[in-house]
Chain A
Amino acid sequence: MNQEARRSTPRARYYHVDLAGLSFRVSRRKLLFAAVLFAVLLVTAGLALLPGDLDLGIGDVATALAGGGEQVVRFIVVELRLPRVLAAVLAGALLAASGSIFQTLVRNPLASPDIIGVTAGASAAAVFWITTGGDRALLAPVALVGALVAAALVYLLSRRAHVTETRLVLVGIGINAMLTAVVTLLVVRGNINDVSRAYQWLAGSLYGSSREDVRLLGLSAIVLLPLAGVLLPAIRPLRLGDEHARSLGVRVEAVRLAYLAVGCAMSAVAVALTGPIGFVALMVPHFARAIAGSTSFGLLVITALLGGLLLVVTDLVGQHLLPVTLPVGLLTAAVGAPYFLVLLHRRRVS
């Protein structure tokens, strides 16, 4: 469809939504796409509950989810498989959405939450905890603290009168390099058995996802994703440059800090609970943009759905389709890469 057609029939292509005083426009194409994606995600997540040491039928799983059937089956489905699948969906959605936020904010296609030090901070804290023999149960909170401290450090160090994107990126590179050096140092100096365990964490895995994990991830998604959507209209003028945005009445600093904080919180929670799962935050926003076009709330939703889908599919592959079971973090790139090649060939990546 060309620009002319879109302009001549605006009503046919957009829906206007009014939600508690917040009104925005949703393109019909994006809505349709999001609906299809959501359906695919539901079906895939459902299918992911079937295979395992005990292969189950659709009927068994449906009964177990409804609270009936054999107790063993119910335990396997509700306590073991469901948390893992939900964790995959939610962590994928949070990572992808935060990637999209950072790419919008920094205006750099290579930007990801890594830039603000979240991943490196979580990794340094987690590897320190593992190699010094800390309590396993506290690993996720420790990683979360590491992620947030690193992000706060990057933000505060890039503040000087106001934060510019370039300064944020450069300070981020610096903090990242230091924290990565700390990880390297711990890996070189540590006992090889601890280092092995640290490597397992660094690979990024959904193994052992619990109900509590899912609750935290779900809470974060429910709070943070709509918040990102609400902030979006205020963020868009920043693309014109800070001066211009300010002249339009945008409170540039406050808006940027709020958006950064949302993006940070999203990725920090995901990374703390699963370890650094690469590729999702960086690449899924590109996929989503190639499919669904310019920055909007619809795009954010599609990005999140796509992120969730990628992680569910990847974890399914890692658990059941290979001769060995592999942590999900090792496969996201392998599962996502072919799709990137397709996009390149269809000239969708600019």
Chain B
Amino acid sequence: MSRIPSFSSGGGRTVALLVLLALLAGTVVLSLRFGAAELSFGDVVRALFAYDESSYEQNVVRTLRLPRTLLGLAAGAALAVAGAAMQAVTRNPLASPAILGVNAGAAFGVVIAVSAFGLTRPMSYLWFSFIGGAAASLLVYVIGSQGSGGASPAKLALAGVIVASLLASWTTGILLFDQQSLDVVRFWLVGSLAGRSSGVLAVAAPFQAVAVVLLVSSSSQLNVISIGDERARSLGMNTGRVRGAVLAMVVVAAGATVAATGPIGFVGLAVPHIVRSITGPDYRAITVGSLLVGPIVLIGADVLGRLVLRPTELQVGVVTALIGAPFLIGLARRRGAISL
């Protein structure tokens, strides 16, 4: 396959990569440093490299801030890369993993766990959420593959909308009659990195890591399939199989993330657009860019959410939307049209 130029030179690409890595490192440090408890950078450094168990400050870093930051790292990367892959295989700028019914399925799983089994802690309903999301996506894929021509993007999208609206209405239906569950579930439905034990990350991270690595390493295939099924097929690609495999990885990445954090909107949708506006249409650059920009955005939003209403905080799902949206709007206005 011929190389598609994305930046003006290979050197430009390296610089961009270094800048993003530096930004990411900076965001991570900020996330360890700022929050309800007052800490110094010294506490952060000592907690990481010379851990003293008797220090309250260092305990905050180790037991609260670090797991939360790592969760943000994993979630941001998984959501953004899954979003980029989703937009490639569906060739739809509106596509995000939510269109496959992942979030709606996960929410339904959580509602079942809370209302039927009386579970109340994120770790205890993690699997319900993951399985709910995966089952919903499988259903979407099966429905979207009916009829002639297999799973076309348009059919998948429509099937996704149907399944998602079905599940969403069941979720709302249960919550309408069960105020107690509503009181638990509403806090899950915001999407937050707070209050998750490190056990949550330990379960979700392996799934997220495998899916993200596979998606990033298949970015050449994403390039081919994003030019259209006809042309991709004429280049010898089995588009049905590639699309199915990519969608499966998207579901694993997004499903594990939503199970761990609740539905965090906007990152999967907006980050690929933001990256694309810089890199151009080459998915090899877009996936790597999303891998880095996703966590920067998510952790950055989380830090901001901790600072604005101190000592209480704004959930990250709310912040990503409130901050990310004006940014996307500005981008849309400045660049004329963001397109695929």
**Using a CB–CB distance below 8 Å, which chain A residues touch chain B?**
108-110, 157-158, 160, 164, 166-167, 169-171, 173-175, 177-178, 180-181, 184-185, 187-188, 192-193, 195-196, 199-200, 202-203, 278-279, 282-283, 286, 324, 326-327, 329-334, 336-337, 340-341, 344-347, 349-350
Contact = CB atoms under 8 A, between A and B. Distances in A.
A334 B168 CA distance: 11
A175 B94 CA distance: 14
Contacts of B165: 278-279, 282, 332-333
28 contacts: A109-B157, A110-B92, A110-B99, A110-B161, A166-B93, A167-B333, A167-B336, A170-B338, A173-B270, A173-B328, A174-B326, A175-B329, A177-B265, A180-B265, A181-B318, A187-B189, A199-B182, A203-B172, A278-B165, A278-B168, A327-B176, A330-B173, A330-B176, A332-B169, A333-B162, A334-B166, A347-B148, A349-B154
Give the interface SS of chain A, mostly helix, strand, loop or mixed.
helix
B318 A185 contact: yes
Given A157-B329, A170-B328, A203-B176, A187 B322 contact: no
A311 to B, nearest CB: 14
Nearest to B335: A167
B154 A109 contact: yes
- Please name the 6 residue pairs, one residue from A and one from B, whose CB atoms are nearest each other, closest first: A181-B321, A174-B325, A170-B332, A333-B165, A330-B169, A177-B321
Interface of B: 92-94, 99, 143, 146-148, 152, 154-155, 157-159, 161-162, 165-166, 168-170, 172-173, 175-177, 179, 182-183, 186-187, 189-190, 265-266, 269-270, 273, 314-315, 317-318, 321-322, 324-326, 328-329, 331-333, 336-339
Give the interface SS of chain B, mostly helix, strand, loop or mixed.
helix
Contacts of A175: 325, 329
Contacts of B168: 278, 333
A157 B328 CA distance: 11
B2 to A, nearest CB: 28
A349 B158 contact: yes
B315 A344 contact: no
Contacts of A157: 329, 333
Nearest to A185: B318
B189 A184 contact: yes
Given A203-B176, A283-B161, A341 B146 contact: yes
Given A192-B179, A337-B162, A341-B143, 7 more contacts: A166-B93, A177-B328, A188-B186, A193-B179, A195-B186, A344-B147, A349-B154
Of residues A108, A175, A177, A195, which shows the largest number of chain B Cβ atoms within 10 Å of its Cβ? Answer: A177
Given A178-B322, A196-B182, A286 B158 contact: yes
